[in-house]
Structure 1
Amino acid sequence: MSQDKQTILFLASWYPTPQNKNHGIFIKNHALALSNFMPVIVVYAYSTNDAEDFKITKTKQGNLEEWLLEYPKSSTPLISFFIKYLRFKKAHKLLLKELIKENIQVKAIQLNVIFPAALTLPLFKDHFKAPHTIVEHWSGYLPEDDNYKSGIVKNVTKKAVASAAKIFYVSEKQKQAMLSHGLKGNYELLYNVVDTNLFKENKSVKSQKPLLLHVSSLVEREKNISGTLRVSKKLQAAGNDFDLVIIGGEEELVSYYKKEATQLQLKNITFTGKKTQAEIAIYMQQAQALILFSNYEGMPVVVLEALATGLPVFATKVGQLPNMITNEFGKLVAVKDEATLEKELDLFLKGNTKFDSQKMIEFISQNASQEIVGKKLAGLYLGI
């Protein structure tokens, strides 16, 4: 185990697990990027119905170590919150105990998504006497999401923000929303990371028939899948012949939208369910465009991945997208503006709109590559 005094400890509220390989994948990507420059240990505790006890699993990938602790999920509704909290805290105490046992020397703590991990931040800070930074991905501060309400969440968040050496945000709108809630601090934009060895252009596999792609959790409140299906139906009714592939979502959501697509009499539509990053990269290389008709976003990794493969993006003016998607990269429309999205996609499918794939790829290389983002994080921690 690493005993390097430069070790950065990632304390995560979300992180990929064997049960959910894409959950918080952007946090893992940041850890991988930073690990190219200094040792990183990620600690993450999560509950499952299958767990019988508290068990830590350690994996190592180069300079990155992942310590995942799986523990039993509470099944007692009336006192569930208190049991959840006690088990969550116990899990993190066990992770801290393991760090102490391995004589890990921590230079700084990076809190990834403030709540609920910040509930246990004092445990690690008190022992390691280390400063902490924050990388916030949560959209709950935004008025469109409006989930920053709980007294516990507010109290814990304010304390974590007030004492943070740096607060990285993923969209200007998120930063302004946090400030509007009185969360003042030392803010800086941080790009999500794209694995450009995986997400890269490959014209040899491009589909001959137009293929439109959507990748998300399929959560309607955020992603507006129903709107995407309605626009697709109108495009087909106007004589456009294309394939629509929708990736992601839990099984019950996939089943729900399959029924909706059938009711709309949509043709040539495929729901794949969840896919690995490698599989998503292949779909992007084959596709002609990505559609993300969301009601709100932060900095969607899927958009960065699309640009890395030279894939134009048709999306809404949400999150950081207005600062990223130029007319050379795609088209942005107002939230829920189905008519304009249909118009822009119709022009594209008829060959009347052109984009610059090389400039997309260069944009990612200059802003969201492992090297660029890793250097930015390492520069901060070397200076602490």
Structure 2
Amino acid sequence: MKLRVLHLPKWYPNRYDNQDGDFVARHIAAIAQTSSADNTLQSAVVFAAVARGPLPALIDTEVDLDGSVPTWRYYYRARFTGLNSLDRLIKLFLWLICVGRGVRAVRRHWGGAQPDVVHAHIMLRTAMLAWWLKWRYQIPYLITEHWTVFLPASTQQLGWLRRRVATLLVRQAAAFTPVSDDLRRALARLGGTNTRTVVIPNAVDTDLFHLPNELQVRYGLLNVAAFNEQAKNLSGVLRTVAQLRAKHSALDFRLRIAGYGAAEKQLHQLATDLGLLADGTVTFLGKLTSAEVAEEMRRAKAFVLFSNYENLPCVLIEAQASGLPAVATRVNGVPELLPEDGSRGLLVPAGDEEALAKALLTVLQAPRGRFDAQALRAAATAQFSYPAVGAAFWRVYQQIKR
């Protein structure tokens, strides 16, 4: 069976940030890779977003036909009147214009053919357009959801109307594929249920993220995260490392932090105040490429993620593919990656810096063989590799089109 799938992502790598929505790009790459051998599936991406810089016109277009998935990106101006409510309406109108142009461009690329399936990645507007295409052209749609805004700690940000629309869109979809069971339960509590719900996790490139060579010595801690204090609580990690360094000076508590974001200046200052930069205990690496992150994963002895809330963190999957045990908080989808038996790492309560310190000591002092790197990688490959995730989506597509 041959299928044409139109992908509509809310977030996607773009000219301003090549890592924005990279988890969506991985899903799409996994789907394309799975079907490339026998050419059973044609995919295309249409993405539109507010420009973060000057544009030569009201709308600017980028078309990429050289990659495995033809992609149309559109950028539109951010401000028009200076009145926020009016500008929001104008931007929504421009988003619709851009995506409409993209859909028509995809049809021309496919020789006039309509998509067989519309795949909306992250609600709301992408799924609303998918719903309209279903109503207008009888094209089924599915929704893949990643957004932490649907988790209990964040739903107040949506408001009643948007929560209601989201649940209706999920119920009207031909399939719903949240990336974690925790997110599935969160949407269900809001009323967003679907008889064809399949949890399909985030994907990791297991060719890029792999075990170190046998002679490579692993040392210290690694954190890779957006510098978003409300979610990631990097300050708690810094305070814990400072405490451990003071009490256990003989152990190696060097922490390398990769990432960028709004709290970057604040976190640099905290690390300075704690004396963590002067002696090299903490190193801020800045924004790294995926290849550079993979190299850091192979160098570290343990990964640490002290988030207040999460969905299904790609960094934990990447760590497992690299044979790297983790210490992370017992929140949302994280226990789906780190089972309670401790075979892949240790879980601690969110915000409990004493528990974090104890767990980090345990992992860093663990005897050789306590965490089986080969078993960690095998589990990641079986569940989260491109072939595994792409095949899971392909099965859902086939069910939709039967």
Where does residue 256 of structure 2 map in the other structure?
Answer: 245
1:61 Cα deviation from its structure 2 partner: 5.5
Deviates more, 1:123-132 or 1:241-250: 123-132
Is 1:9–2:6 an aligned residue pair? yes
- CA-to-aligned-CA distance 1:127-185 (integer Å, 9 cap, x gap): 54210011100111222223453244224313311211111112222111111111121
* Counterpart selection for 1:165 from 143, 164, 174: 174
Is 1:357–2:377 an aligned residue pair? no
What is the rounded CA distance, in whole Å, between the counterparts of 2:224 and 2:54 in structure 1? 28
Where does residue 100 of structure 1 map in the other structure?
Answer: 107
1:350 Cα deviation from its structure 2 partner: 3.1
Is 1:80–2:87 an aligned residue pair? yes
What is the rounded CA distance, in whole Å, between the counterparts of 1:355 and 1:255 in structure 2? 35
The aligned runs of 1:31-110 (5 Å cut-off) are 31-36=28-33, 37=35, 38-48=41-51, 49-51=53-55, 52-60=57-65, 63-74=68-79, 76-78=82-84, 79-102=86-109, 103-110=112-119
Deviates more, 1:210-219 or 1:156-165: 156-165
Root-mean-square deviation over aligned CA pairs: 2.0
The aligned runs of 1:108-119 (5 Å cut-off) are 108-119=117-128
SS across alignment from 2:243: helix
Distance 1:57 1:126, change over 3 A: farther
What is the rounded CA distance, in whole Å, between the counterparts of 2:325 and 2:289 in structure 1? 21
* Counterpart selection for 2:266 from 256, 264, 268: 256
What is the rounded CA distance, in whole Å, between the counterparts of 2:66 and 2:314 in structure 1? 22
Deviates more, 1:41-50 or 1:296-305: 41-50
Question: Which residues of structure 1 form unaligned runs of 5+?
Answer: none
CA contact (8 A) 2:32 2:69 kept: yes
Deviates more, 1:159-168 or 1:92-101: 92-101
Where does residue 194 of structure 2 map in the other structure?
Answer: 185
Deviates more, 1:320-329 or 1:337-346: 320-329
SS across alignment from 2:208: coil
Question: Which residues of structure 2 form unaligned runs of 5+?
Answer: 36-40
Distance 1:85 1:62, change over 3 A: closer
The alignment's TM-score, normalised by the length of structure 1, stands at 0.92
What is the rounded CA distance, in whole Å, between the counterparts of 1:20 and 1:125 in structure 2? 31
What is the rounded CA distance, in whole Å, between the counterparts of 1:153 and 1:19 in structure 2? 28
The aligned runs of 1:317-336 (5 Å cut-off) are 317-326=330-339, 327-336=342-351
Where does residue 133 of structure 1 map in the other structure?
Answer: 142
What is the rounded CA distance, in whole Å, between the counterparts of 1:149 and 1:357 in structure 2? 41
Partner amino acid, structure 2, of 1:9: L
* Counterpart selection for 2:163 from 154, 158, 173: 154
What is the rounded CA distance, in whole Å, between the counterparts of 1:157 and 1:379 in structure 2? 24
CA contact (8 A) 1:213 1:284 kept: yes
Partner amino acid, structure 2, of 1:341: L
1:352 Cα deviation from its structure 2 partner: 4.8
- CA-to-aligned-CA distance 1:37-70 (integer Å, 9 cap, x gap): 1221111101113223323222246542221112
**How much identity, in percent, do the aligned residues show?**
28
Deviates more, 1:177-186 or 1:147-156: 147-156
Is 1:367–2:383 an aligned residue pair? yes
Distance 1:114 1:225, change over 3 A: same
What is the rounded CA distance, in whole Å, between the counterparts of 1:254 and 1:17 in structure 2? 22
Partner amino acid, structure 2, of 1:270: T
- CA-to-aligned-CA distance 1:88-138 (integer Å, 9 cap, x gap): 122112212322333243110111011232343345335542100111001
What is the rounded CA distance, in whole Å, between the counterparts of 2:105 and 2:217 in structure 1? 50
Is 1:212–2:221 an aligned residue pair? yes
1:313 Cα deviation from its structure 2 partner: 0.8
Where does residue 18 of structure 1 map in the other structure?
Answer: 15
CA contact (8 A) 2:326 2:345 kept: yes
Number of aligned residue pairs: give it.
379
Where does residue 354 of structure 2 map in the other structure?
Answer: 339
What is the rounded CA distance, in whole Å, between the counterparts of 1:98 and 1:123 in structure 2? 18
SS across alignment from 1:203: coil
SS across alignment from 1:140: helix
What is the rounded CA distance, in whole Å, between the counterparts of 1:342 and 1:85 in structure 2? 47
Deviates more, 1:6-15 or 1:49-58: 49-58
